[in-house]
A and B are shown apart, each in its own frame.
Chain A
Amino acid sequence: DTGVSQDPRHKITKRGQNVTFRCDPISEHNRLYWYRQTLGQGPEFLTYFQNEAQLEKSRLLSDRFSAERPKGSFSTLEIQRTEQGDSAMYLCASTRGGGGGWNEQFFGPGTRLTVL
Protein backbone atom coordinates (compact mmCIF):
# COMPACT_ATOMS: atom_id res chain seq x y z
CA ASP A 1 0.00 0.00 0.00
CA THR A 2 1.59 3.25 -1.19
CA GLY A 3 -0.84 5.52 0.62
CA VAL A 4 -2.58 6.56 -2.61
CA SER A 5 -6.11 5.23 -2.88
CA GLN A 6 -8.45 5.06 -5.82
CA ASP A 7 -12.14 4.39 -6.00
CA PRO A 8 -13.70 2.37 -7.47
CA ARG A 9 -11.21 -0.38 -8.25
CA HIS A 10 -13.36 -1.70 -11.07
CA LYS A 11 -16.05 -0.08 -13.18
CA ILE A 12 -18.14 -1.64 -15.92
CA THR A 13 -20.30 0.69 -17.93
CA LYS A 14 -22.19 0.81 -21.17
CA ARG A 15 -21.05 2.90 -24.08
CA GLY A 16 -22.37 6.44 -23.85
CA GLN A 17 -22.57 6.54 -20.08
CA ASN A 18 -20.60 8.94 -17.89
CA VAL A 19 -18.18 7.66 -15.26
CA THR A 20 -16.24 9.36 -12.48
CA PHE A 21 -13.18 8.10 -10.65
CA ARG A 22 -11.69 9.40 -7.44
CA CYS A 23 -8.10 9.55 -6.25
CA ASP A 24 -6.92 10.34 -2.74
CA PRO A 25 -3.20 11.14 -2.77
CA ILE A 26 -0.73 11.08 0.09
CA SER A 27 -1.79 14.06 2.18
CA GLU A 28 1.41 16.10 2.09
CA HIS A 29 1.91 15.66 -1.66
CA ASN A 30 1.15 18.75 -3.71
CA ARG A 31 1.38 17.14 -7.15
CA LEU A 32 -1.16 14.68 -8.47
CA TYR A 33 -1.04 12.88 -11.80
CA TRP A 34 -3.46 10.83 -13.85
CA TYR A 35 -2.23 8.13 -16.24
CA ARG A 36 -4.00 5.63 -18.49
CA GLN A 37 -2.69 2.15 -19.16
CA THR A 38 -3.91 -0.31 -21.77
CA LEU A 39 -2.99 -3.97 -21.95
CA GLY A 40 0.66 -4.59 -22.79
CA GLN A 41 1.58 -0.92 -22.68
CA GLY A 42 3.19 1.28 -20.10
CA PRO A 43 1.15 4.00 -18.41
CA GLU A 44 0.51 7.14 -20.49
CA PHE A 45 0.35 10.57 -18.92
CA LEU A 46 -3.03 12.30 -19.04
CA THR A 47 -2.86 15.34 -16.79
CA TYR A 48 -1.37 16.70 -13.60
CA PHE A 49 -2.16 19.15 -10.81
CA GLN A 50 0.00 21.21 -8.57
CA ASN A 51 -2.23 21.85 -5.58
CA GLU A 52 -5.60 22.76 -7.10
CA ALA A 53 -4.23 24.06 -10.40
CA GLN A 54 -4.33 21.81 -13.46
CA LEU A 55 -1.03 22.66 -15.11
CA GLU A 56 -0.70 20.20 -17.96
CA LYS A 57 -2.99 18.13 -20.13
CA SER A 58 -1.89 15.55 -22.67
CA ARG A 59 -3.44 15.57 -26.12
CA LEU A 60 -4.68 12.11 -25.14
CA LEU A 61 -7.15 13.91 -22.90
CA SER A 62 -10.05 14.52 -25.26
CA ASP A 63 -12.88 16.95 -24.55
CA ARG A 64 -14.84 14.10 -23.02
CA PHE A 65 -12.34 13.88 -20.19
CA SER A 66 -12.25 16.35 -17.33
CA ALA A 67 -10.28 16.31 -14.13
CA GLU A 68 -10.57 18.39 -11.00
CA ARG A 69 -8.75 18.81 -7.74
CA PRO A 70 -10.98 21.36 -6.02
CA LYS A 71 -9.21 21.80 -2.69
CA GLY A 72 -5.78 20.56 -3.63
CA SER A 73 -6.43 17.25 -1.93
CA PHE A 74 -8.43 14.50 -3.68
CA SER A 75 -9.00 14.52 -7.42
CA THR A 76 -11.72 13.27 -9.73
CA LEU A 77 -11.48 12.17 -13.34
CA GLU A 78 -14.71 12.15 -15.30
CA ILE A 79 -15.25 10.59 -18.69
CA GLN A 80 -18.39 11.63 -20.50
CA ARG A 81 -20.09 9.61 -23.22
CA THR A 82 -17.74 6.68 -22.77
CA GLU A 83 -16.48 4.76 -25.78
CA GLN A 84 -15.13 1.24 -25.98
CA GLY A 85 -11.67 2.69 -26.61
CA ASP A 86 -11.77 4.23 -23.15
CA SER A 87 -11.46 0.76 -21.61
CA ALA A 88 -8.19 0.84 -19.68
CA MET A 89 -6.65 1.05 -16.25
CA TYR A 90 -6.68 4.62 -14.92
CA LEU A 91 -3.84 5.27 -12.52
CA CYS A 92 -3.35 8.12 -10.12
CA ALA A 93 0.02 9.10 -8.66
CA SER A 94 1.20 11.75 -6.26
CA THR A 95 4.49 13.32 -5.31
CA ARG A 96 5.99 16.17 -3.41
CA GLY A 97 6.94 18.29 -6.36
CA GLY A 98 9.71 20.80 -6.73
CA GLY A 99 13.27 20.77 -5.51
CA GLY A 100 16.18 19.13 -7.22
CA GLY A 101 16.25 15.73 -8.78
CA TRP A 102 13.25 13.77 -9.87
CA ASN A 103 10.80 13.06 -7.12
CA GLU A 104 9.43 9.55 -6.69
CA GLN A 105 5.82 9.21 -7.75
CA PHE A 106 3.60 7.01 -5.62
CA PHE A 107 0.94 5.22 -7.60
CA GLY A 108 -2.46 4.07 -6.50
CA PRO A 109 -3.86 0.62 -7.37
CA GLY A 110 -5.78 1.98 -10.34
CA THR A 111 -9.36 1.87 -11.52
CA ARG A 112 -10.03 -0.65 -14.26
CA LEU A 113 -12.71 0.62 -16.64
CA THR A 114 -14.54 -1.69 -19.00
CA VAL A 115 -16.87 -0.10 -21.53
CA LEU A 116 -19.32 -2.54 -23.08
Chain B
Amino acid sequence: LAKTTQPISMDSYEGQEVNITCSHNNIATNDYITWYQQFPSQGPRFIIQGYKTKVTNEVASLFIPADRKSSTLSLPRVSLSDTAVYYCLVGGDGGSQGNLIFGKGTKLSVKP
Protein backbone atom coordinates (compact mmCIF):
# COMPACT_ATOMS: atom_id res chain seq x y z
CA LEU B 1 0.00 0.00 0.00
CA ALA B 2 1.30 3.43 -0.93
CA LYS B 3 2.59 5.73 1.79
CA THR B 4 0.95 9.11 2.14
CA THR B 5 2.28 12.45 3.37
CA GLN B 6 0.02 15.25 4.57
CA PRO B 7 0.46 18.32 6.79
CA ILE B 8 0.33 17.65 10.49
CA SER B 9 -2.00 20.57 11.18
CA MET B 10 -3.92 23.42 9.55
CA ASP B 11 -5.82 26.40 10.89
CA SER B 12 -8.78 28.08 9.27
CA TYR B 13 -11.67 30.40 10.04
CA GLU B 14 -15.36 29.80 9.73
CA GLY B 15 -16.69 30.33 6.22
CA GLN B 16 -13.37 29.77 4.49
CA GLU B 17 -12.56 27.04 2.00
CA VAL B 18 -9.97 24.59 3.25
CA ASN B 19 -7.74 22.55 0.97
CA ILE B 20 -5.69 19.70 2.41
CA THR B 21 -3.14 18.18 0.06
CA CYS B 22 -1.84 14.65 0.34
CA SER B 23 1.21 13.26 -1.46
CA HIS B 24 1.29 9.63 -2.56
CA ASN B 25 4.16 9.29 -5.01
CA ASN B 26 4.10 5.49 -5.07
CA ILE B 27 0.42 5.06 -5.81
CA ALA B 28 -0.32 1.89 -7.76
CA THR B 29 -2.50 1.58 -10.83
CA ASN B 30 -5.38 -0.06 -8.98
CA ASP B 31 -5.20 2.14 -5.88
CA TYR B 32 -8.04 4.41 -4.84
CA ILE B 33 -7.66 7.58 -2.77
CA THR B 34 -9.91 7.83 0.24
CA TRP B 35 -10.33 10.45 2.95
CA TYR B 36 -11.67 9.87 6.42
CA GLN B 37 -12.61 12.36 9.14
CA GLN B 38 -12.26 11.69 12.85
CA PHE B 39 -13.63 13.66 15.78
CA PRO B 40 -12.20 13.17 19.28
CA SER B 41 -13.38 9.99 20.97
CA GLN B 42 -15.12 8.75 17.84
CA GLY B 43 -14.24 6.32 15.09
CA PRO B 44 -13.17 7.62 11.67
CA ARG B 45 -15.89 8.46 9.21
CA PHE B 46 -15.66 8.11 5.43
CA ILE B 47 -15.76 11.44 3.59
CA ILE B 48 -14.95 10.83 -0.05
CA GLN B 49 -13.17 8.48 -2.42
CA GLY B 50 -11.80 8.89 -5.93
CA TYR B 51 -9.63 7.32 -8.56
CA LYS B 52 -8.88 10.21 -10.93
CA THR B 53 -9.98 13.74 -11.89
CA LYS B 54 -12.57 15.26 -9.59
CA VAL B 55 -15.17 13.80 -7.28
CA THR B 56 -17.75 15.85 -5.42
CA ASN B 57 -20.31 14.90 -2.82
CA GLU B 58 -22.47 16.81 -0.37
CA VAL B 59 -19.62 17.49 2.06
CA ALA B 60 -16.39 17.74 0.05
CA SER B 61 -14.58 17.65 -3.26
CA LEU B 62 -11.55 15.59 -4.13
CA PHE B 63 -9.16 16.76 -6.82
CA ILE B 64 -6.76 14.26 -8.33
CA PRO B 65 -4.27 15.35 -11.02
CA ALA B 66 -3.53 13.19 -14.03
CA ASP B 67 -0.37 11.65 -12.53
CA ARG B 68 -2.31 10.73 -9.33
CA LYS B 69 0.78 11.36 -7.19
CA SER B 70 -1.14 13.76 -5.01
CA SER B 71 -4.71 14.65 -4.15
CA THR B 72 -6.46 17.60 -2.53
CA LEU B 73 -9.45 17.42 -0.24
CA SER B 74 -11.49 20.59 -0.46
CA LEU B 75 -13.96 21.55 2.28
CA PRO B 76 -16.14 24.48 1.25
CA ARG B 77 -17.13 27.09 3.82
CA VAL B 78 -15.94 25.27 6.92
CA SER B 79 -17.67 25.65 10.26
CA LEU B 80 -16.51 25.05 13.81
CA SER B 81 -17.90 21.52 13.58
CA ASP B 82 -15.38 20.67 10.86
CA THR B 83 -12.61 20.77 13.44
CA ALA B 84 -11.28 17.23 13.27
CA VAL B 85 -8.41 15.06 12.05
CA TYR B 86 -8.49 14.24 8.35
CA TYR B 87 -6.76 11.12 7.03
CA CYS B 88 -5.68 10.46 3.46
CA LEU B 89 -5.43 6.79 2.54
CA VAL B 90 -4.37 5.06 -0.62
CA GLY B 91 -5.02 1.47 -1.52
CA GLY B 92 -7.28 -0.97 -3.25
CA ASP B 93 -9.43 -3.90 -2.32
CA GLY B 94 -9.08 -6.12 -5.35
CA GLY B 95 -9.58 -9.28 -3.35
CA SER B 96 -7.07 -8.37 -0.65
CA GLN B 97 -7.99 -7.91 2.98
CA GLY B 98 -8.66 -4.25 2.40
CA ASN B 99 -7.39 -3.11 5.76
CA LEU B 100 -6.79 0.61 5.95
CA ILE B 101 -3.36 2.10 6.55
CA PHE B 102 -3.72 5.37 8.43
CA GLY B 103 -0.96 7.94 8.88
CA LYS B 104 -1.07 10.63 11.53
CA GLY B 105 -3.55 12.72 9.57
CA THR B 106 -4.03 16.47 9.40
CA LYS B 107 -5.51 18.15 12.43
CA LEU B 108 -7.78 20.93 11.19
CA SER B 109 -8.71 23.65 13.65
CA VAL B 110 -11.51 25.98 12.60
CA LYS B 111 -11.73 29.23 14.53
CA PRO B 112 -14.65 31.63 14.80
Question: Residues on A close to B: CB < 8 A?
Answer: 2, 4, 31, 33, 35, 40-45, 48, 55-56, 89, 91-93, 95, 97-110, 112
With A102-B34, A102-B49, A103-B93 in contact, do A97 and B98 touch (Cβ < 8 Å)? yes
Q: How far is the CA of A30 from the CA of B104 in the complex (A)?
A: 28
Q: Of the 9-residue stretches B38-46, B58-66, B73-81, which lies at the interface with chain A? A: B38-46
Residues of B within 8 A of A (CB-CB), count? 25
Least Cβ–Cβ distance between B61 and chain A, in angstroms: 17
Question: Residues on B close to A: CB < 8 A?
Answer: 32, 34, 41-46, 49, 85, 87, 91-95, 97-105
B32 pairs with A102, CB closer than 8 A:
yes
Can you give 12 A-B contacts (C-beta < 8 A)?
A42-B85, A42-B87, A42-B102, A48-B99, A93-B43, A102-B98, A105-B46, A105-B98, A107-B44, A107-B45, A110-B41, A110-B43
With A42-B87, A107-B44 in contact, do A48 and B97 touch (Cβ < 8 Å)? yes
Least Cβ–Cβ distance between A64 and chain B, in angstroms: 21
